[in-house]
Amino acid sequence: VDKVSRAARIQAGVYGPALDAQLKPHGLTIRHFPQSFEFSTLGGWIATRSGGHFATLYTHIDDFVESMRVVTPTGIVESRRLPGSGAGPSPDRMFIGSEGILGVITEAWMRLQDRPTFRAGASVPFPSMFKAADAVRQISQAGIYPANCRVLDEGEAFNSGAGNGDEAVVVLAFESADHPLEPWMKRALECCADHGGKIPAEAAKTRTDAEATHEGSAGAWRNAFLNAPYLMDTVAAMGMVSDTFETSITWERFPDFHRQMMETAREVIARVCGKGSVTCRFTHVYPDGPAPYYTILAPGKRGSEMEQWDEIKAAVSDKLIALGGTITHHHAVGRYHRPWYDRQRPDGFALALKAAKKALDPRSILNPGVLIDPD
């Protein structure tokens, strides 16, 4: 641990909880919490370009990598530890998101943060998701960087216990290890009020206890988010067809994009399953656009659930690629997303990736069929 530069050299096989526990005595944290945190490793986060729980600023694992050591079939690749560099294409970037096709990540120097001690949280109801999205766009462009800044549409808010089903909800949270947060939360709530949000009383108050962002509607959504993966087997055992698909799009295209995605999802659910639901939330927001995350739940036909899932997955994936979105914002490509990744990836980059694969893994023994076809 380098407390002066606030970084640590970490072996890639460490699981999330063990890593956080080792950093805690130093008063530090990586502050990268994907939904799979309990069962995933640092190396896995880097190899898949993991996205963490926090909605703005430092959320992607890319932001935390200072340098890396990778073992490839043709030798070791180790980058220089630097806060930044303009010396050609980044060697780290070639391996971040490579999903195991170029080498095995064995360790990395990672940028850390001080553990937060100040917190403020609020949830704000809105008359519609589009009004909520307008407020979040203003917040994301104001440079105040909330730790959590999510839009839940009416259905998503109801299903998680964060709303009554008639209103969209914006979930806000700020955290700091350095200063109280009233001015930041106050400005975020002003942005919400500008677009019709109902501002809760005393929402701007800073708290210093860990439960500050775990209460009320925000806490209800947080608990639903953390529990969702544990319910997947139960939902499947009930014979339900469920899926999530996530993407990103620029702000000026979002309204039309969202309408068309919801229409496509509802149509294919009705055609394949007879009925079902589709809801949406923002997982991350940027000054130039949001990352919408859609959840599908529908009754399956016994013995045909996988075929139904495949048909729904193909229809929504075809549509979001046609509309200019990305096939994955933070769920990686893997094998499910490969057909649409091939359509999204520029041809020239595909040639360069194939050349890198051949140079580092000439016998194509590492994860064949992921990202590109082996020679």
Residues in the chain: 375
Instruction: Check pLDDT > 90 for residue 83.
Output: yes
- For residues 257 and 323, is the Cβ–Cβ distance under 8 A? yes
Residue written as token pair 């309204």: 255
Cα separation, 26 vs 23, in Å, equals: 5
- For residues 1 and 23, is the Cβ–Cβ distance under 8 A? yes
User: Residue 91: what are its φ and ψ, rounded to 5°?
Assistant: -65, -35
Local confidence band at 217 (pLDDT 50, 70, 90 cut-offs): low
State residue 161's pLDDT score. Answer: 83
pLDDT tens digits for range 36-49: 999 999 999 999 99
Average pLDDT, the chain: 92
User: Residue 123: what are its φ and ψ, rounded to 5°?
Assistant: -125, 135
For the four alpha carbons of 73, 46, 352 and 77, in that order, the dihedral sign comes to negative
For residues 294-323, b (16+ Cβ closer than 10 Å) or e, as one string? bbbbbebeeeebeebbebbbebbbebbbeb
pLDDT tens digits for range 62-72: 999 999 999 99
State residue 332's pLDDT score. Answer: 95
The bridge status of strand 75-78 relative to strand 148-152 is: unpaired
pLDDT tens digits for range 291-323: 999 999 999 998 888 999 999 999 999 999 999
Instruction: Check pLDDT > 80 for residue 24.
Output: yes
Local confidence band at 275 (pLDDT 50, 70, 90 cut-offs): very high
User: Residue 322: what are its φ and ψ, rounded to 5°?
Assistant: -60, -30
Mean predicted confidence (pLDDT) in 135-154: 95
Cα separation, 276 vs 117, in Å, equals: 43
Instruction: Check pLDDT > 90 for residue 266.
Output: yes
The bridge status of strand 168-176 relative to strand 148-152 is: antiparallel
- Spatial CB neighbours of 4, under 8 Å, sequence gap ≥ 6: none
Instruction: Check pLDDT > 60 for residue 212.
Output: no
Mean predicted confidence (pLDDT) in 102-113: 97
Instruction: Check pLDDT > 60 for residue 213.
Output: no
Domains defined along the chain, listed by start: 7-114 (3.30.465.10), 118-229 (3.30.70.3450), 238-343 (3.30.300.330)
Mean predicted confidence (pLDDT) in 339-366: 96
Instruction: Check pLDDT > 80 for residue 331.
Output: yes
